[in-house]
A and B are shown apart, each in its own frame.
Chain A
């Protein structure tokens, strides 16, 4: 069973569209994250939720809205997509004690 799964794996869309990425973890972790990895492989945290509560909200355009319906799921909705949003988006989860991150396989978003 995949520990952290995110869908879709690839997302190609036009500028201005709205899209969502879904993430689910079956590790029983309380904390989930969204990261953005750019073309230079720089990995930057965007959001973190602990047991459905938003605890980290980095400087991210408000076109990005995370939603956590329960502690096993964290979705990311992006409005009015821009060219600069093209990147790989990773979902991750962790236990608070050690903060070891367990990553999904990533969603490669291409905005045309």
Chain B
């Protein structure tokens, strides 16, 4: 299975601190995506990084991708209580009809 594994499983930080989550996967990918899931809600897409990119930014989010190590990290800077959620990486082996495979998730708690 190409399922990603995320580390840590849970993370608790103070508001204003940075949060870093890591994702490792097993096979070659075309892109890697990060999603957020608030409690009791569906997943929401945050950012996509292509296999030929090494870093991408979106607001307070910074994603890195190291295809040689088959790993990615998501950094949330200056965290807010509203960032409390579970975060999932998802790997896409190709475009078209190939399935996106989700990681095991990191549960982030930001304490006000």
Prevailing SS type, chain B contact patch: strand
Q: Is the CB of B100 within 8 A of A99?
A: yes
Interface residues of A in 66-110 (CB under 8 A from B): 90, 92, 94, 96-106
Chain B residues closer than 8 Å to A101, beta-carbon distance: 33, 35, 43, 45, 90, 100
Stretch at the interface among B12-20, B54-62, B65-73, B91-99: B91-99
Give a binary string over B73-84; 1 marks a CB under 8 Å from any A CB, 0 the rest: 000000000000
Chain A residues closer than 8 Å to B43, beta-carbon distance: 43, 90, 92, 101, 103
**A90 nearest in chain B by CB position:** B42
Q: Is the CB of B97 within 8 A of A105?
A: no
CB of B86 closer than 8 Å to a CB of A: yes
Give a binary string over A9-25; 1 marks a CB under 8 Å from any B CB, 0 the rest: 00000000000000000
Q: Which bucket holds chain B's interface residue count?
A: 20 to 34
> What is the interface of chain B, defined by CB distance below 8 A to chain A?
31, 33, 35, 37, 40-45, 48, 86, 88, 90, 92, 95-102, 104-105, 107
Extra pairs beyond A43-B105, A45-B101 (13, CB < 8 Å): A4-B42, A31-B97, A40-B104, A41-B104, A41-B107, A43-B102, A55-B97, A56-B99, A99-B95, A99-B98, A101-B43, A102-B45, A106-B42
9 closest A-B pairs by beta carbon, nearest first, are A103-B42, A43-B102, A103-B43, A99-B92, A55-B97, A41-B105, A105-B42, A100-B45, A96-B96
